Amino acid sequence: MTGFDVITVDGPAAAGKSTVASLLASRLGWRHLDTGATYRAVAAAALKKGIQSDDTQGLSQLVASLRLDILDEQTGSRILADGEDVTDLIRTPEVSRASSPVSAVPAVRERLVALQRELARNRNTVAEGRDLGTVVFPDAVVKIYLTAGAEERARRRYKDFQAQNKDISYEKVLSEIQERDQRDSTRAHSPLRPAEDAHVINTDTLTPEDIAEQIVHLYHDRCVRA
Residue 2 has pLDDT above 60, yes or no: no
| Among 161, 61, 39, 54, residue whose Cα is nearest residue 101 | 54
Residue 6 has pLDDT above 70, yes or no: yes
| pLDDT for 96 | 87
> What backbone phi and psi angles, to 5 degrees, belong to 35?
-70, -25
Tell me how far CA of residue 5 lies from CA of 46, 57, 101, 123, in angstroms: 33, 36, 31, 7
One-letter identity of residue 85: D
Q: What is the DSSP string of 202-224?
A: E-SS--HHHHHHHHHHHHHHHHH
Question: Across-strand partners of 143?
Answer: 8
One-letter identity of residue 139: D
Q: Are 44 and 93 in contact (CB under 8 A)?
A: no
| pLDDT for 105 | 95
Q: Per-residue pLDDT tens for 103-140?
A: 999 999 999 999 999 999 999 999 999 999 999 999 99
Residue 97 has pLDDT above 80, yes or no: yes
Q: At what angle do helices 106-119 and 35-49 cross, to 10 degrees?
A: 130
pLDDT band for position 206 (cuts 50, 70, 90): very high
Q: What percent of the chain lies above the pLDDT cut of 70?
A: 98
Residue 147 has pLDDT above 60, yes or no: yes
Residue 204 has pLDDT above 90, yes or no: yes
| Among 10, 39, 3, 43, residue whose Cα is nearest residue 126 | 10
Residue 1 has pLDDT above 50, yes or no: no
Cα 40 versus chain centre, distance: 9
Mean pLDDT of 85-91: 94
Mean pLDDT, all residues of the chain: 93
Q: What percent of the chain lies above the pLDDT cut of 90?
A: 82
Cβ count within 10 A of residue 28:
19
Q: Which of 53-57, 97-101, 108-112 has the lowest mean pLDDT?
A: 97-101
> What backbone phi and psi angles, to 5 degrees, belong to 2?
-115, 165
Domains located in the chain, CATH noted? 6-225 (3.40.50.300)
| Among 117, 105, 94, residue whose Cα is nearest residue 35 | 117
pLDDT band for position 226 (cuts 50, 70, 90): low
